[in-house]
Chains A and B, each alone.
Chain A
Amino acid sequence: MSLDLEQVQRIARLARIEISPEEAATARDQLNGIFGLIETMQAVDTTGIAPMSHAVDVVQRLRADVVTEQNRRDAFQAVAPETEAGLYLVPKVIE
């Protein structure tokens, strides 16, 4: 398997990363190298093996339904790029 330029551009779009044609070409070559390494695992027969999502086999701990957090809007918005009237501003959202 190898990626072409169009696929690289599609992935970059999905990931919301602007990528120039030159960058896409470099990325394609590097990704194909990395996928060469990754492909080695395709040869392994894993029939019947359960996927392992977590390093430890424990179950989810559940939190009591209690409000523990206070309003810290000023502190949180002090590091925001653009706010007004307590809202985070972004370019117009079009539905």
Chain B
Amino acid sequence: MSDLPEYNFAYLDEQTKRMIRRAILKAIAIPGYQTPFASREMPMPYGWGTGGVQVTAAILGVDDVLKVIDQGSDDTTNAVSIRKFFARTAGVRTTTRTPDATIIQTRHRIPEAALGEHQVLVYQVPIPEPLRFLEPRETETRRMHALQDYGVMHVKLYEDIAEHGHIATAYAYPVKVDDRYVMDPSPTPKFDNPKMDQCPALQLFGAGREKRIYAIPPYTRVVSLDFEDHPFERTRIPASCSLCNSTTVFLDEVVTDDQGGRAFMCSDTDFCEQTRSSTGAKS
């Protein structure tokens, strides 16, 4: 039998980290541009956060405090699994408290609490190309970005308005970064889009299967695509959290019975806990 394998700090070997780090620096220098990188096979399946995990592994140090969320929650199975992976391979401290984390890896949400300069938000991205569903060919979409030819996207959004009276995109709502690249924010609900604009924290996006890394530097203009007569609107669910009573946050709908009964609660579980402990609301 061959020797049993040994793994480096944060799993990736140093050469792989260098390669990812170089891509991250380029991504920061060209906001919103999808930088190709030689994504590795990770010990979790493609589509389950391999891009985010590689970015986190490349930036993580012994002094970092890591938070991992999926759907806004620290306790969803995939968040638990990724947090455990780093606790095991890097021995770093982990937290569920948003303000205490120096690196937050996320799938599908941006935390409700405002982020600061000491933090990096790492997004897991399934399909990094915002134009992919309008043009399946990479050679074509790359050209469109090079020429800033985003006509197909505007046509698509306008067709939505013609058919439905609204832009019928509820998540992965495209944005323009620093007035240059149209970017996919990953499948976050469009409710979260405004949080990306002028955010003090660095935002890094990793797509493992598609082998792309991109970034929004801190304090960068991020604008959700819209039209003058149909401005971008943040979705709001007309309800309040049944646990902490918050009304200004993204709420999950929980089906309580098979008679149409339902309740709402914060998708960001840490925010909900903090609000409850500070207001003394029922728990």
Judge: A and B partners, yes or no. no
